[in-house]
Structure 1
Amino acid sequence: MKIQKKKPLTEKQLAECAALKEIFNAKKEALGLTQEKAAQHLGMNQGSFSHYLNGRNAINLEFALSVSQLLGVPVTDFAPRYATALSDFGPRSLDSFMRFRIEGKGAEGHINEWFGHIHASAAAYPLVPWYSLRMRNPASDRFEDESDPDFIASTEPAGADGYWIPMQGPSMSSAAAPSFPPGSYLLIKPNDFEIKAGKFYLARHSGGDFAIRQYMREASSDYLVALNPTFPTLGLNPDWTLVGRVVDVRMPGL
């Protein structure tokens, strides 16, 4: 079988990688980052992260959005070709989000063309407190405990009722990737989500408590597993039920 060689990056793509590498090297000490730590926060291995910095992998939309959050810089600082499209995905008002939920069209505008070789769409979802009314009933039309929430864009579809929540406690912190440390933002898809072993979910206890866990199935039994080994494994039924799937993760404030 003939092995197809990887297409070399264009000059523009190489320039983006070089610009990102310069930004990373300038900020890593202040942020307490190494390539390995940055890769862990981004949910990849160190080799993959190095490929982006050194021009072996082109910077795509998903990686650009994630690494910009990690380094605290706009995507356009290292990938200016995304400027026009990304300008539509800043914080949104609650009225804007309600129109999204009713019309089912995402945030006001889609990213749908990326220079002929990348195709993606993005939508903005609200960041809400843990135990918020939205967590308990995401399909409701009234959320009295939310004033004017921030909205965070993602290319991962979370549905009309999707929302971000801040991770609570160290139960999903791990020394190796994946790891969801306290304060990281998790995008929850509360409806029509696939249940698959190894994926991460928001679970609700019959007593009203919530937890983020990895779903595992073994010997016809369902389990909810914490990444932190000091936390116990939970039985899925009847006490716990899955009420949403984690489809994206961000690391703010680093």
Structure 2
Amino acid sequence: MTMKWYDLAKTLMKAQGITQEQLAEHLGITKGAVNHWLNTRREPSLEEIAHILEFLGKKNFSVGAGGLIIDDALKGNVAYVGRYKSGKKYPVLSSVKAGAWGEAVEAYTMKDIDQWFESDAHIQGDAFWLEVEGDSMTAPVGLSIPEGTFVLFDTGRDPVNGSLVIAKLSDTNEATFKKLIIDGGQKYLKGLNPQWPLVPINGNCRIIGVGVETKLRLI
């Protein structure tokens, strides 16, 4: 099956409830740039197209001439053919609870860190990976971040409504991973799992990072 990449992207975004703002946040670019790409006023690179579709859950495809997406179900399991460009490596610091507040056990010196994962995301501050524990970010439909997923957090990015953030209690070493909701000036933390309720936040915690990328290791 072939179709234009932007038509496929818009179909996947609509099905998953992902907005242009959320896609822009993930890619580290402006909403205007995403709008230009999706409406063919500007053309992203092949690497950027692959990054967008992978974020939207499209796994088996190749990008052909003119931005055509070729479904590889009929011709092998080739995800993307192109020149490999390595990204920067960021440390895996600890685990974070995707549920109730839980202890965040952080490595204190670089020599204590034995895992480093690569990313080509646009990072605005210091960044680190955390492994998700719990099921509050596991959704039955749409965007879902299950237990065992590694999330890359950018400490220099400003959180906005809809950002996926790590929040840490001000007076303890406890943290949680949630979606930030801002409604009428009030801030809340919400799980992607609909069974988890909205939790209002105020001066009792601070947001220390915004999620920009996920990685799931199978072995």
Question: TM-score range with shorter-chain normalisation?
Answer: 0.5 to 0.7
Match for residue 185 of structure 1 among 145, 150, 158? 150
Query: 1:154 is matched by which residue type in structure 2?
Result: S
SS of aligned partner of 2:82: helix
Shift of 1:148: 2.4
Determine the structure 1 residue equivalent to 2:212: 247
1:129 touches 1:166 (CA, 8 Å); kept in 2? yes
* 1:204 aligned onto 2:204: no
Determine the structure 2 residue equivalent to 1:215: 180
1:62 touches 1:155 (CA, 8 Å); kept in 2? no
* 1:161 aligned onto 2:162: no
CA gap of 1:175–1:232, structure 2 versus 1, over 3 A, is same
Shift of 1:213: 1.0
Deviations 1:42-101 (A, max 9, x none): x8848xxxxxxxxxxx67342587699x78xxxx9553432xx33xx3xxxxxxxxxxxx
Determine the structure 2 residue equivalent to 1:23: none
CA gap of 1:232–1:45, structure 2 versus 1, over 3 A, is closer
Q: For the residues of structure 2 that align with 1:78 and 1:172, how far apart are their CA atoms?
A: 26
Q: For the residues of structure 2 that align with 1:44 and 1:126, how far apart are their CA atoms?
A: 34
In the TM superposition, 1:89-104 aligns within 5 A as: 89=86
2:168 touches 2:176 (CA, 8 Å); kept in 1? yes
Pairwise CA RMSD: 3.5
Determine the structure 2 residue equivalent to 1:95: none
Q: For the residues of structure 1 that align with 2:149 and 2:114, how far apart are their CA atoms?
A: 20
In the TM superposition, 1:93-172 aligns within 5 A as: 122-130=87-95, 131-133=104-106, 142-143=109-110, 146-149=112-115, 151-159=116-124, 161-172=126-137
1:167 touches 1:181 (CA, 8 Å); kept in 2? yes
1:161 touches 1:189 (CA, 8 Å); kept in 2? yes
1:44 touches 1:177 (CA, 8 Å); kept in 2? no
Shift of 1:233: 1.9
Query: 2:149 is matched by which residue type in structure 1?
Result: S
SS of aligned partner of 1:62: helix
1:223 touches 1:233 (CA, 8 Å); kept in 2? yes
Max Rg structure: 1
% identity of equivalent residues: 17
Q: For the residues of structure 2 that align with 1:148 and 1:253, how far apart are their CA atoms?
A: 18
Q: For the residues of structure 2 that align with 1:244 and 1:8, how far apart are their CA atoms?
A: 34
Determine the structure 2 residue equivalent to 1:79: 80
2:169 touches 2:206 (CA, 8 Å); kept in 1? yes
Query: 1:79 is matched by which residue type in structure 2?
Result: Y
Query: 1:148 is matched by which residue type in structure 2?
Result: D
Deviations 1:162-211 (A, max 9, x none): 111111100111111211110111000012x1221011111001332111
Deviations 1:22-42 (A, max 9, x none): xxxxxxxxxxxxxxxxx7xxx
Query: 1:172 is matched by which residue type in structure 2?
Result: M
Q: For the residues of structure 2 that align with 1:171 and 1:165, how far apart are their CA atoms?
A: 15
TM-score by length of 1: 0.51
1:66 touches 1:250 (CA, 8 Å); kept in 2? no
Deviations 1:116-137 (A, max 9, x none): xxxxxx3222223222435xxx
Q: For the residues of structure 1 that align with 2:162 and 2:113, how far apart are their CA atoms?
A: 35
TM-score by length of 2: 0.58
